[in-house]
């Protein structure tokens, strides 16, 4: 009987959703886990917590540049050189104010880069090795905001729309292989990134609940995961509202 640990890489590991996914994975079974992020101190805190929860797991932290393509290539190459990866979760992002993005092109650019281009670059960097090994799961967190452009968050939403279209193409590319490409679409979730929405009285799902849907969906082989699942119905309705009605809505 094989005792080989599952090798899991989490990009954007300081994300609250990612942290809870990591907890679920190490509590299910001892893992060889690599946490990738920008805040080394916070990653070490998460790693310590995971080791307490799962003493048999190996947890490694790696600091990363999330924008520069050459740095992403180097980072992913170093991970791949240590062995094949079973699961990659790409979870990083930011949610700036839409009005500020409209007024500040640098902020607009950063929003598009970190939420759209950066996840795609990480995914593409891992895809080739998974193709060669003909196995592995590449899961990318998008957002329900990418399903239809809305005036309240269309800059963030357009970046997530890029991720959605990219994943569709990747799923087509790997359709007849053992590589799984998963698109995750959380609804509004209670994290530090959405604290301003919580203050405005928005109803938010817990990060723990969203993480549970993600981990369970990946284990079941789902290709698209709405978290919580009710957002699949909500966004189907939103996508099909005729433009002449949609344009009257303040959403």
| CATH classification at residue 131 | 3.40.50.720
Within a domain: 142: yes
Q: Which two tokens stand for residue 67?
A: 């924008």
Give the dihedral sign, CA 197/201/207/210.
negative
Distance between CA atoms of 209 and 132, rounded to whole angstroms? 34
pLDDT, tens digit (0-9, with 9 covering 90-100), for 172-208: 999 999 999 999 999 999 888 787 777 777 789 999 9
What does pTM read for this prediction? Answer: 0.95
User: How far, CA to CA in Å, does 208 sit from each of 39, 41, 49, 170?
Assistant: 21, 22, 15, 28
Local structure of residue 5 (DSSP, 8 states): P
Residue 35 pLDDT class (50, 70, 90 cuts): very high
pLDDT at 97 over 50: yes
Looking up tokens 């799923």 gives: 171
The token pair at 126 is 């891992």
Q: Percentage of residues in the chain with pLDDT exceeding 70?
A: 99
Report the 10 Å Cβ neighbour count for 207.
Answer: 21
Q: Is residue 251 part of a domain?
A: no
User: What does the pLDDT look like over 228-250, one tens digit per residue?
Assistant: 999 999 999 999 999 999 999 99
Q: Is residue 1 part of a domain?
A: no
Q: How many independent structural domains does the chain possess?
A: 1
Look at residue 14 and tell me if it is in a domain: yes
Q: How far apart are CA 114 and CA 37, in angstroms?
A: 13
pLDDT on residue 1:
41
Q: Is the pLDDT of residue 49 over 90?
A: yes
Identify the weakest region by mean pLDDT among 9-18, 191-200, 212-221.
Answer: 191-200
Give residue 26's domain range: 6-246
């Amino acid at each position: 009987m094989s005792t080989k640990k599952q090798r899991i890489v989490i990009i954007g590991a300081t994300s609250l959703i990612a942290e809870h996914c990591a907890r679920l994975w190490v509590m299910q079974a001892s893992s060889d886990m690599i946490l990738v992020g920008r805040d080394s101190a916070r990653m070490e805190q998460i790693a310590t917590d995971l080791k307490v929860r799962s003493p048999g797991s190996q947890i490694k932290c790696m600091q990363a540049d999330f924008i520069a393509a050459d740095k992403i290539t180097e980072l992913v190459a170093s991970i791949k050189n240590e062995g094949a990866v079973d699961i990659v979760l790409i979870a990083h992002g930011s949610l700036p104010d839409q009005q500020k993005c409209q007024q500040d092109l640098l902020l607009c650019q950063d929003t598009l880069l970190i939420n759209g281009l950066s996840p795609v670059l990480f995914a593409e960097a891992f895809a080739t090795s998974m193709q060669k090994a003909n196995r592995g799961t590449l899961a990318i967190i998008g957002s329900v905001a990418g399903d239809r452009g809305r005036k309240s968050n269309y800059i963030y939403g357009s970046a997530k729309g890029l991720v959605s279209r990219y994943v569709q193409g990747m799923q087509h590319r790997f359709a007849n292989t053992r590589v799984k490409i998963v698109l995750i679409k959380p609804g509004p979730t209670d994290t530090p990134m959405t604290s301003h929405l919580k203050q405005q009285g928005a109803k938010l799902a817990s990060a723990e609940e969203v993480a549970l849907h993600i981990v369970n969906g990946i284990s079941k082989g789902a290709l698209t995961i709405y978290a919580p699942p009710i957002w699949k119905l909500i966004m189907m309705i939103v996508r099909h509202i005729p433009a002449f009605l949609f344009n009257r809505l303040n959403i």
